[in-house]
Structure formats: structure tokens, C-alpha cells
A = this chain, B = another copy of it.
Amino acid sequence: MAENRQSYPEGIKWTKQRKDVFHILNNATEPMSAAQIYAQILKNEPDVNYAVSTIYRILAAFEEQGFVEKTTFMGDDTVMYEWNKHEHTHYAVCLNCHKKVPVHVCPLEHFDHHDMMGRGPWAEIAKSDDFVVTAHKLELYGYCKECEKIRK
């Protein structure tokens, strides 16, 4: 998993622990909690003896560098982390199994930040409240294929 030499982002020390967290998040298909990352590391290398606190410290350091992004989803009670691939992605979250399906289509894509600040469809929001919008987060909720079957 971590054998092939790979170029890591610069600017921080690359310890074995950080490489492990990097590899897991970088290959993840959906956001993961610290506990999930830790479990995945143990699964890959059952003999490692990590401190959970190290995972949190690594995630905090990565976040500070802009390498990972932190979010929470309705229904989970823990913070989730994902490697910042600089793709504008939202998620469709299954209300039953909590699976997160990445959605690369954004219905707000035509409303750029400049529009958000006073012109276009956002004018009403921006003007009425004197609020400068710099980003947004959209989550879709519903049921994934498997859970939809069971539900009815």
C-alpha cells in the first residue's frame, strides 16, 4: 500500500505515520473519521503501535497546511476528514447506512462568488444581510440503491 515511492506534498516532515494517513485519505472514496483512519491503518499493518492522538495531531497539521478538509454530516456525530483534491465536490448522504456518494455536479456552479456578493440570484441574500459569501456546502440526503430497496 505504501511501498511505491510517491511524491508527498512539501512543507512538512514525512514520518511513517503521516505517510500512512496520507495514503489512506488520498485513496479514500469518501470522507473518513479519525477512528476509521486508525482502524484502516491497523488493518493494513496489524503490528503498528500508533497512538490515536497522533492521528488527530496529523490531521490537524494536514488541515492547517490545507491538505485535508474537515466536515461533519447530519447523522454522524463525528468529524470527517478528506484529502483536498481541489475538486468542488458535494455528497449525497444515505440516511440509512450513512454512505456518502460523491457528486461532482454543482447546481450552484454558475453562481460565482462575485455574483453571490450582490448580483444575480444571490443578490437578495447578500444585500439584505450584508454578508460576504466565500464558499458553500451542499449536502443531498436520501437513500442509496441498497437501502432504498429495503426501505419500502
Contacts and interface: CB of A to CB of B under 8 A. Distances in A.
B125 A131 contact: no
B138 A142 contact: no
A151 to B, nearest CB: 9
Interface in A103-152: 103, 105, 107-108, 111, 116, 121-122, 124-125, 129-145, 148
Interface residues of A, number: 38
Nearest to A75: B70
Given A74-B72, A138-B136, A105 B131 contact: no
Given A72-B74, A107-B121, A124-B105, A139 B141 contact: no
Contacts of A79: 77
